[in-house]
Structure 1
Amino acid sequence: MRITVVTGSASGIGAAVSKALQGAGHRVIGIDRQNADIAADLSTPDGRRAAIDAVLERCGGVLDGLVCCAGVGATAPSAGLVIGVNYFGVTALVDGLADALAKGQRPAALIIGSIASTQQGADSQPMVEAMLAGDEAQARELADALGAPHVAYASSKFAVTRYARQKAVAWGKQGMRLNVVAPGAVETPLLQASKDDPRFGEAVKNFVAPLGRAGEPHEIAGVVAFLQSEQAGFVHGTVVFVDGGMDAMVRPASF
């Protein structure tokens, strides 16, 4: 039985991914702030370390899969928190569990990114370079100084996507796969919070995919389960948009 860790497993996409992987025969180790196998706060270095240690204890140092779903949106209490969870909370787990994955059977890791990573200007924020340099204090300071949590969100998703792409060669040489799934709007508590926010609500409600609706968590989970399976054994270092056509609508000439 494959052992796969899923962060953000208590709700939304993470809960759907956990269910899909269990249905495919995986033993899932869920991580969330509560209502999970491992309770941990991935916004802090201590919380991340505790999560990694708990995973290694549960899996005996050998892991087959990792899916990083945990994240916060533009309605988070601070832009710095967005950076802490969406970038450092992901990369710490990927790096910290890499050795265990290297010992697994056909190991594969996946990061839940976002269509927001393609947002104009997300790639040029100074906080992106700070994230990629591993300077959490600086990245969080820059994000808070900007005072635009929606920009921090887009930049965090761009940075974590770039991080994953940059690892592709080294991971591939070790027989390890790493991919990113970039959802559009998905009916989750995170999306509902954005709809209810007076700053972003109208824009979120009006940004409708060509298919005319938001996605459902199980639709993202189905793609994740495929990418974590043997059937996707040659899919590596890529970004898969599951967005109802949003990316094609916004960037028809870019792919």
Structure 2
Amino acid sequence: MNDMKTVVITGSQSGMGLATRLFLEKQGVKIIGISNTNDAEIQADLSTDEGVDAAVQKVIALSEGKIDGVFANAGVGGEYAPLVFGLNFFGIVRMLEGLQPYLKESANGRVVINASNSVVITPGIPNEVVDALVSFDKEKAYELIQKSPFWTYQVSKVAITKWVRKNAFKEEWAGSNISMNCIAPGVVLTPMIEHDLKDPRKAEGINKLPRPLGDFCKPENIAPLVKFLLIDDSRFIIGQYIVIDGGTEVAWRGNDHPKTWDVSFEDFGKL
């Protein structure tokens, strides 16, 4: 009987995706990588419906329908909303919904989505755009973000995090034995960040971030957490947003969490 795990990784050929791929392969995991480059098992543009649908069909074919986990890692920054929202939000949801029946079939499916600690350390993220995305109102989201294009990336990451929180416990996911969570890295020395550090405006902001450990995270530091959530005995972790940023968030917001639940016992009893 073949008990080898099969995991799908998007953005599998660089940064956190590649580091996780190499780490999991050492554990005997079969990886089906998806990238916009031609050195992955599947080449696809996951920012478009057509690209996602084609990738899903290729995953099903390559895996013969045996899919144990998905690391939705691919992401992009910038202010071009169709690309950023397409890859960081709509594409992730569409891909996961396409693969859900096969994750369900595994009876112990796992999903990890690469979010960002920017969700909780960035002030002023426009929630009305987030709400439009989570409601899948594309036109409204595109219209609203034009007023504050600087927040395009952060909005997309908040939206995917909220989507996970709204759905991970439901019948389609936890009720189908699929554990779904987000990780929230801080600054990780990926090619994208190394590029940003060469931009004086971006580098100034990055270098101002608190670094309690004294340095920035490397992609190899993220991979063990992803492995734990995808492969190890972590089935009962559902719908969580797990920050892995070397202490940046807690240095700024340590007194903010946990926030107690301000609800009366009467209202609690009606839930």
- Scaled by the length of structure 1, what TM-score is found? 0.92
Aligned to 2:66: 62
Give structure 2 stretches of 5+ with no counterpart: 258-271
**Displacement, 1:145?**
4.3
Residue 244 of structure 1 aligns to a residue whose secondary structure is: coil
Residue 111 of structure 2 aligns to a residue whose secondary structure is: strand
* Counterpart residue type for residue 245 of structure 1: G
Aligned to 1:89: 91
Residue 112 of structure 2 aligns to a residue whose secondary structure is: strand
- CA-based RMSD: 1.6
Residue 17 of structure 1 aligns to a residue whose secondary structure is: helix
Q: 2:180 aligns with which of 129, 154, 178?
A: 178
Identity %: 34
Cα deviation per residue 1:48-82 (whole Å; 9 max; x = unaligned)? 11111111111222311000110012xx3624422
Aligned to 1:129: 131
Aligned to 1:248: 250
1:23 aligns with 2:33: no
* Counterpart residue type for residue 74 of structure 2: A
Give structure 1 stretches of 5+ with no counterpart: none
Aligned to 2:57: 53
1:214 aligns with 2:241: no
Cα deviation per residue 1:218-243 (whole Å; 9 max; x = unaligned)? 11011100111232122221111110
Aligned to 2:266: none
Q: Could you tell me whether the CA contact under 8 Å between 2:79 and 2:152 is conserved in 1?
A: no
Q: 1:10 aligns with which of 8, 13, 18?
A: 13
Aligned to 2:165: 165
> Larger radius of gyration, structure 1 or 2?
2
- Scaled by the length of structure 2, what TM-score is found? 0.87
In 2, Cα distance between equivalents of 1:15 and 1:129 = 32
**Displacement, 1:105?**
4.1
Q: Could you tell me whether the CA contact under 8 Å between 1:5 and 1:28 is conserved in 2?
A: yes
In 2, Cα distance between equivalents of 1:5 and 1:183 = 20
Residue 180 of structure 2 aligns to a residue whose secondary structure is: strand
